[in-house]
A and B are shown apart, each in its own frame.
Chain A
Amino acid sequence: MREVNVEQITRTIADLCMNANYFLGDDMLAALEKAVAAEESPTGRTILEQLQENATIAATDRVPICQDTGLAVIFLELGQDLHIIGGDLEAAINEGVRQGYEEGYLRKSSCHPFTRKNIGDNTPAIVHCRIVPGEQLKITIAPKGGGSENMSKVVMLKPADGIAGIKKQVVEWVEQAGGNPCPPTIVGVGIGGTFERAALLAKESLLRKVGSRNPDPELDQLEKELLEEINNLGIGPQGLGGRVTSFAVHVKMLPCHIASLPLAINIQCHAARHKEAVL
């Protein structure tokens, strides 16, 4: 059985924390370029150009794209034939976050919910693990800022609400969020499953490359319709008015209970950061 030592996992997580926060993905850089061309508002264009310049400064100087370097959301795909050795996996992950946020001059944002006292090392990481075939470990880190996360929700719709009800909820919610989640955004939509699965689907959908098509033609169509309606709202870059409110809508769906229609909306700001590694 193949073995991976937790020390290697710690180091990999630390590096991923830093790289995710310094380097905006190629898909997002392309999305910004496209948005500059599409934006009709002069204010909106100026903002988008500042975001392009900001991404260049962050990558060149190796400083965070945004000061809100997020809670460390980590997705693991753990091969069932892989043996983790040398210690506790979750402790190793948290140690990686601790090291990455300290070494990388990243902001530590985790705090006690009541006293608001800062925990000091940005732990605990928010870990989602799936057991998959094979003998590899895929680690994806997606630092998630508070501003856009606050503009997210789960709602249990009635089955009778259907697609029309889902679309109404999503568009109204994006409108209500306005400039708060730092538009242009990516709107992650999770449909089906259960209460908590819908939320996870919405979050996972944000990992898909911006500009890629949904493999399910029905969802692909839904994404297009939602994006058009959202961009007709006029919210624009930073909510100051314009054509580009969202770069993309990403939908993930699973079957649900005959009595339910769970819907989750997880908004991602333009600093859509994620990096992955395979051990």
Chain B
Amino acid sequence: MGNIIRLQPPLKDEQVKALKAGDRVLITGTIYTGRDAAHKRLVDLLDKGEKLPIPLDGQVIYFVGPAPAKPGNAIGSAGPTTSYRMDPYSPRLLAEGLKGMIGKGGRSPEVKAAIKKYHGIYFAAVGGAGALLAQRIKKAEIVAYEDLGPEAIRRLEVENFPVVVVNDIYGNDLYEQGVAAYRRS
């Protein structure tokens, strides 16, 4: 793996340009949660030309549906969900200014193309490490779609949230490159 880089959203173009697949990144600051149902609603609003309940410009969306918080905790277990289900929506959000996405698993050619075109970045967090990742989330507040339960959009305050760059603006893909390095035919 490459260097450890510290980032605080909103992300600027220069920051995204400096990131390469394999870089380990620690995110501190505000990120938003969103998964299947919330993505659909956001894109439906964009189609209707209506205002979104969260800002997109330079922001980072974390694909997660957390477990309920136990009393005294900011949030329940909160690891990434599989990203390909957000593929139909992500290019549209990137076009509208979204910069970062955190999930797990590979993305479609359309998402990778949108990452290059709009200067976005796709990070992976460790799937199934929900208890560990929740410790890096200091505050969680529902900001939209409360009726969706675990799928509601939350604003999270994170501290040193560990992710790795998978798809950068140069067309690199850590899944493809990492697997090729260890494949035995």
Contact = CB atoms under 8 A, between A and B. Distances in A.
On whether the two chains bind one another, the answer is yes
Given A68-B79, A232-B183, A241-B178, 11 more contacts: A43-B178, A63-B70, A67-B77, A67-B150, A68-B65, A105-B69, A106-B68, A232-B185, A233-B179, A234-B181, A239-B106
B76 A240 contact: no
Interface string B117-145: 00000001011111110110000000000
A63 B105 contact: no
Nearest to A65: B131
Nearest to A241: B178
B150 A109 contact: yes
B124 A238 contact: yes
Given A63-B70, A64-B67, A69-B67, A239 B179 contact: yes
A66 B130 contact: yes
B132 A57 contact: yes
Which of A42, A58, A61, A241 gathers most chain B CB within 10 Å? A241
Contact of A50 (B65, B81, B82, B129): B129
B105 A67 contact: no
Contacts of B69: 105
Contacts of A50: 126, 129, 132
Interface in B125-170: 126-132, 134-135, 147-151, 164
Interface size class of B (residues with CB under 8 A): 35 or more
Given A69-B67, A269-B128, A118 B179 contact: no
A157 interface: no
29 contacts: A50-B129, A54-B126, A54-B132, A58-B77, A64-B67, A64-B130, A66-B127, A66-B131, A68-B79, A105-B69, A105-B70, A107-B66, A107-B150, A116-B36, A116-B37, A146-B81, A147-B127, A150-B82, A179-B105, A179-B124, A179-B127, A232-B183, A234-B184, A236-B178, A240-B164, A241-B174, A241-B177, A242-B178, A271-B128
Nearest to B84: A180
A105 B129 contact: no
Contact of A120 (B1, B36, B73, B149): B149
A232 B184 contact: yes
Contacts, number: 172
B182 A118 contact: no
A37 B130 CA distance: 23
Contact of A43 (B1, B129, B151): B1
Contacts of A146: 81-82
B82 A118 contact: no
Contact of B175 (A118, A147, A240): A240
Interface of A: 40-43, 46-47, 50-51, 53-55, 57-58, 61-69, 105-109, 116-118, 120, 146-147, 150, 178-180, 182, 232-236, 238-243, 269-271
A53 B67 contact: no
Contacts of B135: 57
Contacts of A271: 128
Interface string B4-36: 000000000000000000000000000000001
B104 interface: yes
A53 B136 CA distance: 14
B130 A235 contact: no
Contact of B182 (A46, A106, A178, A241): A241
B127 A105 contact: no
Given A57-B132, A178-B105, A240 B150 contact: no
B64 interface: yes
